[in-house]
């Protein structure tokens, strides 16, 4: 049995988790920075780096408190080394290197997106191949074919805004604050999409049928707000106040916008299922918490007769348990990285630095 300590600092969550054998999360600690970034409507890289510096040691200590030997109960350290904000990555990677060196245990660098691929490891059994992975978050919207363990082929990606980014920008124009995805999802459940028709059609790119584009949808929503004179909520409201005070127009627009996002994601995924005939589909990323997307994925699973694994919301958003799970799988293959490992803010899944 091996305990992997995962470290995740790619964006605005300082996270650490202790995971046993890649399947059992013994702890998962997250220090959120949302309160620090909300006033700016998005993540400010310099603020994110400083907050990681302040929080990383305490978060890691809390994560290993679940272990009988504390840090001495750690068999390896897995850390996100890309992609992400370079300053934020540097904080987590530097801490992980120092800790692994002090404890005399292996260091495993993990791709952030690969972490999301492993986010279903805590609830489901073994994998079946070939598989598809749909990762949808504020910074990423990607579709991968996985022919065998760690054999990733990116079938498609967003050409512009990620799905979560489109949610955040639309919510900001409606005065709903940051992050925008959760509150738009809540409001959509009380709105009627047909009362707020958006002049938008999901693009089908002939030479890239599995690519996504959400910039046009974001523009359509902003045009609707301007032309229909949808009044945004005043600044400074709490999340509960915004939910209570949102107008019918805002609720209907939220429903229409969400219907378009989910329809786009499901349409592309369905094409990929038909073409690739996977034995398994996994999902991950913060947008995998969206209630309409989860329902649509379940319906797609029934319709196509393929298992679609959706992570528990605890593991869908950025967390360190998924990094530890991916790190365990890499370590089981005999992989480890040396101390020359550096942050790779633009790393693509499938790239890997030398390891020994």
- 100: domain CATH number? 3.30.420.40
DSSP string, 133-186: EEEESSS-EEEEEESSTT-EEEEEEBSSS-HHHHHHHHHHHTT--SS-HHHHHH
Q: Is the pLDDT of residue 353 over 90?
A: no
Model pLDDT, residue 354: 46
Say yes or no: 157 and 272 in one domain: yes
Residue 340 lies in a domain: no
CA distances from 245 to 127, 147, 177, 209, 234 (A): 45, 49, 13, 40, 10
pTM attached to this predicted model? 0.93
Q: Does the pLDDT value for residue 351 go beyond 70?
A: no
Q: Sorting pLDDT into bands at 50, 70 and 90, what band is 62?
A: very high
Q: Among residues of the chain, what percentage have pLDDT more than 90?
A: 85
What is the mean pLDDT of the segment spanning 139-145? Answer: 95
* pLDDT reported for residue 235: 79
Structure token digits, residue 253 = 């627009």
Assign 352 a pLDDT band (cuts: 50, 70, 90): low
> Is a pLDDT exceeding 60 seen at residue 147?
yes
Question: How many Cβ atoms are within 10 Å of 244's Cβ, its own excluded?
Answer: 9
Q: Are residues 66 and 214 in the same domain?
A: no
Check if the beta carbon of residue 237 is closer than 8 Å to that of residue 249. Answer: no
Predicted confidence (pLDDT) per residue in 279-336, tens digit? 999 999 999 999 999 999 999 999 999 999 999 999 999 999 999 999 999 999 999 9
Instruction: Mark whether 138 and 84 lie in a shared domain.
Output: no
Residue 168 in any domain: the answer is: yes
Q: Would the pLDDT of 112 be above 80? A: yes
Residue 7 and residue 57 in one domain: yes
User: Considering the domain boundaries, does residue 353 fall inside one?
Assistant: no
The reply to whether 276 and 174 lie within a common domain is yes
Indicate whether 70 belongs to any domain: yes
299 CB neighbour count, 10 Å cutoff? 12
Q: How far apart are CA 63 and CA 45, in angstroms?
A: 25
- Looking at the structure, do residues 147 and 110 belong to the same domain, yes or no? no
Q: Could you tell me if residue 350 is inside a domain?
A: no
pLDDT in the model for residue 38? 77
pLDDT at 355: 43
In a domain, 218, yes or no: yes
- Residue 105: closest CA among 180, 4, 175, 183: 4
Task: Identify whether residues 187 and 233 lie together within a single domain.
Answer: yes
Q: How many domains does the chain have?
A: 2
Structural contact between residues 311 and 297, judged by C-beta atoms closer than 8 angstroms? no
Residue 355 lies in a domain: no
Residues 153 and 296 in one domain: yes
Q: Are residues 325 and 263 in the same domain?
A: no
Per-residue exposure over 44-77, b if at least 16 CB sit within 10 Å of its own CB, e if not: beebbbbbbbebbeebbeebbebbeeebeebbbb
Contact status, residue 238 vs residue 176, Cβ threshold 8 Å: no
Please say whether the beta carbons of 285 and 349 come within 8 A: no
Specify if 185 maps to a domain. yes
Residues 175 and 243 reside in one and the same domain: yes
Residue 139 to residue 161: CA distance in whole angstroms: 8
Do residues 7 and 60 make contact, with C-beta atoms less than 8 angstroms apart? yes
d(CA 171, CA 149): 38
Q: Do 139 and 265 sit in the same domain of this protein?
A: yes
Segment (H or E) for 215: helix 215-227
Q: Where in the sequence is the domain holding 142, given as residue range(s)?
A: 127-310
Instruction: Examine the domain organization and report whether 149 and 167 are in the same domain.
Output: yes
């Amino acid at each position: 049995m091996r305990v992997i300590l995962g470290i995740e600092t790619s964006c605005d969550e300082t996270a650490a988790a202790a995971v046993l054998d890649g399947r059992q999360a013994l702890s998962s600690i997250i220090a959120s920075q949302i309160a620090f970034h909300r006033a700016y409507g998005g993540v400010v890289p310099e603020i994110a780096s400083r907050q990681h510096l302040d929080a990383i040691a305490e978060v890691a200590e809390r994560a290993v408190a679940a272990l009988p030997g504390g840090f001495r109960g750690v068999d390896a350290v897995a850390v996100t080394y890309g992609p992400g904000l370079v300053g934020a990555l540097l904080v987590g990677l530097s801490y992980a290197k120092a800790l692994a060196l002090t404890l005399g245990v292996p260091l495993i660098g993990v791709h952030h997106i690969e972490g999301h691929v492993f986010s279903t490891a805590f609830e489901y059994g073994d994998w079946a191949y070939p598989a598809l992975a749909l990762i949808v978050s504020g910074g990423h919207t990607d579709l991968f074919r996985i022919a065998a363990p760690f054999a990733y082929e990116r079938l498609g990606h967003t050409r512009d805004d990620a799905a979560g980014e489109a949610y955040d920008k639309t919510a900001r124009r409606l005065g709903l604050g940051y992050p925008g995805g959760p509150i738009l999802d809540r409001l959509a459940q009380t709105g009627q999409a047909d009362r707020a028709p958006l002049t938008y059609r999901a693009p089908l790119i002939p030479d890239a049928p599995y690519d996504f584009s959400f910039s046009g949808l974001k523009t359509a929503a902003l045009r609707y707000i301007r032309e229909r004179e949808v009044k945004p909520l005043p600044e400074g409201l709490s999340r509960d106040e915004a939910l209570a005070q949102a107008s019918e127009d805002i609720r209907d627009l939220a429903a229409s916008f969400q219907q378009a996002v989910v329809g786009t994601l499901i349409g592309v995924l369905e094409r990929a299922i038909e073409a690739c005939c996977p034995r398994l589909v996994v999902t991950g990323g913060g947008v995998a918490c969206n209630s309409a997307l989860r329902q649509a994925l379940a319906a797609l699973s029934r319709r196509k007769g393929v298992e679609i694994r959706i992570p528990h919301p605890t593991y869908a958003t950025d967390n360190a348990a998924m990094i530890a799970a991916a790190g365990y799988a890499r370590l089981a293959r005999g992989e480890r990285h040396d101390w020359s490992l550096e942050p790779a803010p633009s790393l693509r899944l499938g790239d890997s630095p030398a390891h020994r």
